[in-house]
A = this chain, B = another copy of it.
Amino acid sequence: MNDFQYHNTTDIRFGRNHIDAELHDAVAQFGNKVLLTYGGQSIKRSGLYERVLKLLDGLEVVELGGIAPNPKIDSVREGQKLAKDNDVQVILAVGGGSVIDASKVIASARYYEGDPWDLVVKANGADRMLLPQLPVVDILTLAATGTEMNFGSVISNPETEQKLGTGGPQSPAVSFLAPELTFTVPANQTAAGSMDIMSHLIEQYFDKAPANDVSKGLIEGLMRTVIKWAPVALDQPDSYDARANLMWSATMALNGIVRSGNQNGWTVHPLEHELSAYYDITHGEGLGILTPRWMQHVLNEDTVALFARFGRNVWQINGEDDQQVALEAIDRTEDWIENLGIPMTLPAVGIKDEANFNVMATSAVKVGQLQTNAYVGLNVDDVITIYRESMKDWQKLSL
């Protein structure tokens, strides 16, 4: 178990009865000049937009709508200008991961004189830029990324074909998690969001830190929860229990708790970020396609014990033979993803040829530091192999 620091001050208001009673004060505690951010038309259709405006009565609200999935740096630039021009004191983000991610970067861009893409590019290393941030309050409308209780954002730049993670000094100040707001999330987004949660858990579970049973035990519990409730949410979109378990799992999967004491970086996310940077596919679908192929590729005599633990404690597979339990666990994972309705090959999401595999693999290895920092080190050829396997139908591994 490695050393760690955990410090997360996000104030979570979870459930049915918080928004109407508490939203106004949660925002107004930071000032009366509010930047309201959101995505497309869905919050207008659902009535949430009107409801929020009514609750903000008495505050000065400027709006930035139209923040797209895989949020683009242009939205951040627009938000930066609005925040400065209007001397905004707090951002209220209403939406899913994209809206909140963009808002967190706008919160820092408010205090930056240059182009906010700098804040994304210079997120790591010696020249890291860590500006102050406006407080962000959010109302989450999709269970997926966990951004509602962490420091990170992922921003895309179509000009440079880059999709990069960045982190600010603060997690959101207050996050309202109201599961019933996700009743209207369509099946494909429910599936992609659930896969995103599952992927975050998998990325942090397959970790080299010795004897970190707290992390692994917490993650196993969250995985079983997502495995159980995602199909229910697809079958009964207005099941409060299903939506609530998915939403809180999403937050817990990526608020830093479950990776405490961990060691290595992530693998499948860097591989997927290349796909959605080049082809703008749905992030959760890319993860769903890549994850079982990655598992198959990194299963070896060093990793089989952890894959077998995953099989026994998460998939509740009986059996003495680690290798067989591991193979069955990977098959069960693939099967669960497929049953969510996620297209399971790259051609099925529109990636018809290998033209960009080399350049994408090179970038993934570099950005993800995959040779030195991954659970199992991967080089460019390894990544190309995983992309190539993702072109074909899945072949069952276990007997």
Task: Please give the residue numbers on chain A whose beta carbons come within 8 Å of chain B beta carbons, in ascending order.
Answer: 1-18, 179, 210-214, 216-222, 224-225, 228-229, 240-241, 244-245, 248-249, 252, 257, 260-261, 318
Set of chain B residues within 8 Å of A1, measured between Cβ atoms: 15, 179, 240-241, 244-245, 248
Smallest CB separation, A231 vs chain B (Å): 13
CA distance A16 to B14 in the complex (A): 35
- B14 touching A6, Cβ below 8 Å: yes
CA distance A318 to B16 in the complex (A): 38
Set of chain B residues within 8 Å of A214, measured between Cβ atoms: 221-222, 225, 245, 248-249, 252
Set of chain B residues within 8 Å of A210, measured between Cβ atoms: 241
Given contacts A3-B16, A4-B14, 5 further A-B contacts (CB under 8 A): A1-B240, A5-B11, A7-B12, A214-B225, A218-B221
Q: Which of B211, B221, B245, B318 contacts A219 (CB 8 A)?
A: B221
Set of chain B residues within 8 Å of A7, measured between Cβ atoms: 9-12
Secondary structure at chain A's binding surface: helix, strand, loop or mixed? mixed
CA distance A224 to B217 in the complex (A): 7
Specify the chain B residue showing the minimal Cβ separation from A212: B245
- B241 touching A261, Cβ below 8 Å: no
Specify the chain B residue showing the minimal Cβ separation from A222: B217
CA distance A240 to B212 in the complex (A): 11
Set of chain B residues within 8 Å of A229, measured between Cβ atoms: 213
- B211 touching A244, Cβ below 8 Å: yes
Specify the chain B residue showing the minimal Cβ separation from A17: B3
Set of chain B residues within 8 Å of A260, measured between Cβ atoms: 12, 14, 248
Set of chain B residues within 8 Å of A14, measured between Cβ atoms: 3-6, 260-261
> What are 7 A-B residue pairs whose CB atoms fall within 8 Å in the complex?
A1-B15, A5-B11, A12-B260, A214-B245, A214-B249, A216-B221, A218-B218
User: Which of A6, A14, A221 counts the most B-chain CB atoms under 10 A from its CB?
Assistant: A221
Smallest CB separation, A399 vs chain B (Å): 21
CA distance A261 to B13 in the complex (A): 11
Specify the chain B residue showing the minimal Cβ separation from A12: B6
Smallest CB separation, A227 vs chain B (Å): 10
CA distance A217 to B316 in the complex (A): 13
Smallest CB separation, A151 vs chain B (Å): 14
User: Which of A8, A17, A228, A240 counts the most B-chain CB atoms under 10 A from its CB?
Assistant: A8
CA distance A207 to B217 in the complex (A): 20
- B211 touching A217, Cβ below 8 Å: no
- A217 touching B213, Cβ below 8 Å: no
Specify the chain B residue showing the minimal Cβ separation from A246: B214
User: Which of A2, A6, A10, A318 counts the most B-chain CB atoms under 10 A from its CB?
Assistant: A6
CA distance A318 to B11 in the complex (A): 40
Which are the 4 A-B pairs with shortest beta-carbon distances? A217-B221, A3-B15, A211-B241, A7-B11
CA distance A5 to B16 in the complex (A): 11
Set of chain B residues within 8 Å of A13, measured between Cβ atoms: 5
Specify the chain B residue showing the minimal Cβ separation from A218: B221
Smallest CB separation, A177 vs chain B (Å): 10
Set of chain B residues within 8 Å of A245, measured between Cβ atoms: 1, 211-214
Specify the chain B residue showing the minimal Cβ separation from A223: B217
Set of chain B residues within 8 Å of A4, measured between Cβ atoms: 12, 14-15
Set of chain B residues within 8 Å of A213, measured between Cβ atoms: 224-225, 228-229, 245
CA distance A225 to B235 in the complex (A): 34
